[in-house]
Amino acid sequence: MASQIKGPGIFLAQFLRDEEPYNNLENIGRWAAGLGYKGIQVPSWDTRVFDLDKAVDSQDYCDEVKGRLKEIGLEISDLSAHPLGQVLGIHPAYEVAFQPFYPEGLNDQARVEWATDGLKKAIVASERLGLTSVPVMSGGFAWHMVYPWPQRPDGLIDEAFRELHKRWRPILDLATDRGQFMSYELHPGSDVYDGATFEWFLDVADNHPAIGICYDPSHFVLQQLDYLAFVELYGDRIKSMHVKDAEFRPSGRVGVYGGYQPWSKRAGRFRSLGDGQVDFKRLFTLLTEKGYDGWAVLEWECCVKSPEQGAAEGAPFIAAHLIEATDIAFDDFCGAETDVERNRKILGLA
């Protein structure tokens, strides 16, 4: 019996570099398959592994990419468009810091047009590849107001979410037309970063059917949000998943906000799988019970272990947590065929 959740998968973005075996799709694909991965999450913006423009124009290209990966023993889990979503909504305070995500020389209007075009291309390419979920970030305008000092004027956050929805709406509508979900990774730095802000976005978007979630428990550990209760609340919207561990160890010196410290000295740190505090056994159980049937994809961002060790340990870790969902009850052996009359006898009503 196969697992309901697919895996193990691996997000390629953090591993790509201009040296073998990490420099093109075939090389990094063979590397990943050799570690035991069955799927790869492909960064749509990195031409070393994927040509987004060619994918939009050519079904043959998409079929060729899938065919080459199949020969290696791999599938594409998702086509990621995280940076494009971030660029769709950038507060001026962050436009310089985020500049590596978009071409130089673009003002806000030009950035929105560029990001919208790229996100629409990712939707079409995802459909051509036979996929259904495009992981993204929401972008945002109000992140610098996350702490209510100075006091936020009435209506400020409502205005931020109205503008965010205005920019996303044509993309969401196209996603629906193409049978896709835009799966938002609830990520600090974006305006949609936890359950409350996700509900805010859903509300302003009239519960748009194309709005999904790229679930990553590590960001919730760092926020001290109950990542298991989150699955129970929003599991039906989870369409993609990053398997990433984290730990939160506050001290008398640093807490949730981190004191501007490097990752290694923050209270909240991303860790390699099994080295943090995420209860993956319970998490995979909840996702299975909620009916999640997408991929479990490693995203490596550990501040202690090397990417090579994190990737090597990640595939067997994920594989060990996949659940072959049962379709029978453990006590079926002592059951019996029944009918209304028998049931009434058992209840003393005959």
The 10s digit of each residue's pLDDT in 237-271 is 999 999 999 999 999 999 999 999 999 999 999 99
| pLDDT above 60 (res 1) | no
Q: Are 73 and 91 a contacting pair, CB within 8 Å?
A: no
Which residues lie below 8 Å from residue 346, measured CB to CB, with a gap of 6+? none
| pLDDT above 90 (res 92) | yes
The 10s digit of each residue's pLDDT in 26-68 is 999 999 999 999 999 999 999 999 999 999 999 999 999 999 9
Question: How many residues would you count in the chain?
Answer: 350
DSSP 170: H
Residue 327 has a pLDDT of: 78
- According to DSSP, the β-strands at 39-43 and 75-80 are parallel
Q: The pTM is what? A: 0.95
Phi, psi of 137 (to 5 degrees): -110, 155
DSSP SS3 for 45: coil
DSSP 21: T
DSSP SS3 for 35: coil
Residue 325 has a pLDDT of: 85
Domain 6-346 belongs to what architecture? Alpha-Beta Barrel (3.20)
- According to DSSP, the β-strands at 6-11 and 39-43 are parallel
Report the chain's mean pLDDT, rounded to a whole number.
96
The 10s digit of each residue's pLDDT in 183-212 is 999 999 999 999 999 999 999 999 999 999
How far is the C-alpha of 167 from the C-alpha of 108, rounded, in Å? 12
User: Domain extents for the chain?
Assistant: 6-346
How far is the C-alpha of 291 from the C-alpha of 5, rounded, in Å? 9
